[in-house]
Amino acid sequence: MARQNAVITGWGFYAPAKVMRNSDFEKLVDTNDQWIFERTGIRERRFAGPGESTSTMATSAARSALAKAKLKAADLDLIIVGTCSPDYLFPATACLVQSAIGADRSGAFDIEAACTSFVSALSVANAMIVAGTVRNALVIGAETLSRFLDMTDRSTCILFGDGAGAVVLEGSNASVGIESAVLRSDGSKGELLYVPAGGTMHPADQSTVDARQHFIKMAGNEVFRLAVKSMVDAAEEALSLANVALGDIALLIPHQANVRIMDAVAKRLHFPIEKVFVNVQRYGNTSAASIPIALCEAVEQGRLKRGDKVLLVAFGGGFTWGASVLEWYGEHDWDRATLSPLDIAARKLGDLVDRVRPL
Ligand code: COA
């Protein structure tokens, strides 16, 4: 198989219907809308309803992304779900999605790098496409963190939300694609943001439940400080690897954890805040889902056109962080099911124009 670039040809997201406003938390803990909004930028977030889970939301996002890409599930080679809130310890959430959408010849596995999971999954899928191992991949970020929130801990319960975002990544002869991917980690800081029990170190028993050890624990201040520094470092490295100047970036899509983190990252990079996509006010921190949901909304709002350079940057538990520069491809205007020789010729011509464009 000839070496190809990986381009995003489909995208979609799902946000559960149940809206949790800041005022809803005033009834649960000692907090208020003003404190939450001023310290985080969050006004509301979505919580999964009964019967909804990471796999059901991922499946909805996946269906939208496949429809946009005009790709049949049966033609998928690979499904990767980035999540730290899977339906089960195993099977992988990606396998549940594979079955739900009927991707009968697809491989499927999960990637867990907390809020960096989507950027990590995208990097792996890109590498597999470029290497010729697969032709295409469905890359999903999906989380149901509401099920791991301690509703008596005001410093964490107000931050997180549920949702899923998905993209279809395909091999293409186009010159655009994913131009760089940087992944970093520091496991020595794991306990600054984690769920202590339920794994093999502290299996679930009555004492772990009584001690509320199955909920997210976080040292917010330290996470904040390291998030800003790490996201700036990763962004600069991804730009340098891609040989792209910051001034050429049309849109920065950071992980949506806290508006103050995003502001600080933009300020340290000397990047205009108008070119930073922010939707944390409506979804809170949806962890692995935040970047793909933001990407979908950016496209919906007409903020990306073919050839635009996009910088994705994430930070999360682990600690993990990473960044990726990509050139937006977007919607293609051909229908695979009825691809005629003329259509194929037109596609080839489009790809050729793309290839000679930078010369
Ligand atoms: N409502 C009201 N008061 C709250 C509160 C809430 N929801 N949560 C915490 N407080 C209180 C604290 O108890 C503390 O009170 P004290 O001074 O009486 O002890 C005070 O507000 C200040 O707490 P502090 O933790 O210093 O606030 P902060 O400005 O650092 O904001 C976070 C806290 C969690 C919003 C902030 O640290 C943060 O966003 N960190 C990063 C979190 C994150 O993004 N994690 C995921 C990364 S992927």
* CATH code for position 92: 3.40.47.10
Q: What is the pLDDT of residue 359?
A: 47
Query: Which of 26, 42, 84, 155 is the pocket-test mutation for ligand 1 (most atoms within 8 Å of CB)?
Result: 155
Residue with tokens 């290497």: 131
Choose the catalytic residue: 22, 285, 296, 332: 285
Q: What is the largest CA-CA distance in the chain?
A: 68
Contact 137, 167 (CB under 8 A): no
Q: 255 catalytic, yes or no?
A: yes
Range of the domain at 279: 1-352
- The alpha-helical segments, DSSP class H, found in the chain are 22-26, 33-40, 54-69, 93-101, 117-130, 154-157, 206-210, 220-242, 259-269, 280-283, 290-300, 341-356
Residue 152 Cβ < 6 Å to ligand 1: no
Atom of ligand 1 nearest to the CA of 40: 35
Instruction: Note down pLDDT in tens along the chain; length 359 residues.
Output: 557 899 999 999 999 999 999 999 999 999 999 999 999 999 999 999 999 999 999 999 999 999 999 999 999 999 999 999 999 999 999 999 999 999 999 999 999 999 999 999 999 999 999 999 999 999 999 999 999 999 999 999 999 999 999 999 999 888 779 999 999 999 999 999 999 999 999 999 999 999 999 999 999 999 999 999 999 999 999 999 999 999 999 999 999 999 999 999 999 999 999 999 999 999 999 999 999 999 999 999 999 999 999 999 999 999 999 999 999 988 876 555 545 566 566 666 766 665 565 54
In angstroms, the CA 11 to CA 324 distance is 17
Q: What is the pLDDT of residue 331?
A: 83
Q: Is residue 333 part of a domain?
A: yes
Contact 101, 66 (CB under 8 A): yes
Residue 347 forms beta bridges with which residues?
Answer: none
What is the distance in A from the centroid of ligand 1 to the CA of 216?
A: 14
Q: What is the DSSP letter of 193?
A: E
- Nearest CA, atom 37, ligand 1: 220
- Please report, in angstroms and rounded to a whole number, the separation of the first and last CA atoms in the chain: 25
Q: Is residue 358 part of a domain?
A: no
Residue 285 Cβ < 6 Å to ligand 1: yes
Q: Is residue 357 part of a domain?
A: no
Q: What is the pLDDT of residue 173?
A: 83
Q: What is the pLDDT of residue 332?
A: 75
Nearest of 201, 269, 190 to residue 233 by alpha carbon: 269
Choose the catalytic residue: 84, 95, 115, 296: 115
Q: What is the pLDDT of residue 334?
A: 56
Q: What is the pLDDT of residue 2?
A: 59
Report residue 306 as tokens: 């073919």
- pTM confidence score: 0.93
Residue 18 Cβ < 6 Å to ligand 1: no
Residue with tokens 């809308």: 33
Residue 156 Cβ < 6 Å to ligand 1: no
Choose the catalytic residue: 255, 258, 279, 332: 255
Q: Is residue 321 part of a domain?
A: yes
Tally of domains in the chain: 1
Residue 303 Cβ < 6 Å to ligand 1: no
- Nearest CA, atom 13, ligand 1: 155
Query: Which of 34, 116, 150, 224 is the pocket-test mutation for ligand 1 (most atoms within 8 Å of CB)?
Result: 224
Residue 148 Cβ < 6 Å to ligand 1: no
Residue 31 Cβ < 6 Å to ligand 1: yes
